[in-house]
A and B are shown apart, each in its own frame.
Chain A
């Protein structure tokens, strides 16, 4: 059972990366195991929980079901890429201020997903936020404070 290696070139959080990895390497594995970007979490490994959401060319996707090699040449942004000059992104600030997290495991995916929403709908209703975040599961908060945090971030972004 030999492994077929493949070259994958990505721009991750503004940095050009080139790695040779087994061809079946998932984007989540590429980020976590090959780049040590462990902020992207794997909760279910089956695209249901959303803890692994990152941005690829500006769109949120579940990195646990995308092959890294398929995305060759893309720009990837992870939770680690949001802080600018030591300052958190307005979405991160809003989650902190309004207790939109507890254990923090779903949080990176939740934040990345919510940012994508606001980038194409700057003033979403509660229902639009809930519908959008349908693919991101949180077990601690009960979602109320997450929705409140997204609404707060909408006023700052």
Chain B
């Protein structure tokens, strides 16, 4: 047997990926496929006054229009922060609410307000144009350095402070600085990180009414985590009624570790409509 050290190892997946026979999430299509199109906030921060979808629901091909109210009524849990940090004073990190579809406020451009499910993507997109959302635009906080002095965004989070993290020994550091010949103060500006995989995020959920099982295809680096979160935290279905499949994944770079609003909404909408719902590129 040739030595493994120094010898070429050919990848098993290359042939299918090179010949167009890979299967990424957007390549999965079910019989009776329906398509999800999200209505997103054009504002960085606003109060939702009213969502009027009376015209959209009557548009050709539309199966349903779901809003934040349905999320509240169905007791679908919010998106979680996957890391728990304690502040220097020992208090727990404060986690702001992040419902999969907003019902009270939107807090970034692109925040999800409603979803249109239709027989085709064109029909979903056309009907989405007919959904009218009235916003009361609020002043946004866009700079971390000013955030603590700015308007309070969430009522339970004073000074907009989620946590105040300390690593190291404050007393010893002070002692070292006090003894130093010269102390230089600088502001460190961290550049923005964008994982930006080539394959955009995508999800496709199939509901089988006879077994009451949801099968979610999603472009994920961590389908096991998605299954636990969508069942235990979002409460879409018990874990034994939710199967999560990550087929070929077109890069993730960390951005595809956690489930997002779309995966939760597509799984929930599939079950609610007793059909499938697909969100994705193209």
Binding site for B on A (CB under 8 A): 1, 3, 22, 28-29, 32, 37-45, 49, 51, 64, 78-80, 82-83, 88, 92, 95-96, 99, 101-108, 111, 137-140
Contact = CB atoms under 8 A, between A and B. Distances in A.
28 contacts: A37-B20, A38-B27, A39-B19, A39-B21, A41-B26, A41-B198, A41-B250, A42-B26, A43-B250, A44-B200, A45-B281, A79-B19, A79-B20, A95-B18, A96-B11, A101-B17, A101-B18, A102-B251, A103-B17, A103-B198, A103-B248, A103-B251, A104-B17, A105-B24, A107-B18, A139-B196, A139-B251, A140-B198
A38 B199 contact: no
Task: Specify the main secondary structure of chain A where it touches its partner.
Answer: loop
Given A42-B282, A103-B249, 5 more contacts: A1-B60, A29-B282, A80-B19, A92-B19, A96-B15
A42 B253 CA distance: 19
A148 to B, nearest CB: 14
Task: Specify the main secondary structure of chain B where it touches its partner.
Answer: loop
Given A96-B14, A106-B198, A22 B122 contact: yes
B19 A139 contact: no
B86 interface: no
The 10 closest A-B pairs by CB, nearest first: A39-B20, A105-B250, A104-B17, A42-B282, A79-B20, A38-B27, A105-B198, A80-B20, A103-B251, A92-B18
A3 B19 contact: no
A28 B11 CA distance: 28
Contacts of B253: 139
Interface residues of B, number: 31
Interface string B25-56: 01100000000000000000000000000000
Given A51-B198, A139-B198, A139-B253, A64 B282 contact: yes
A106 B198 CA distance: 7
A49 B200 CA distance: 11
Contacts of B200: 43-44
A99 B9 CA distance: 10
Contact of A28 (B59, B198, B282): B282
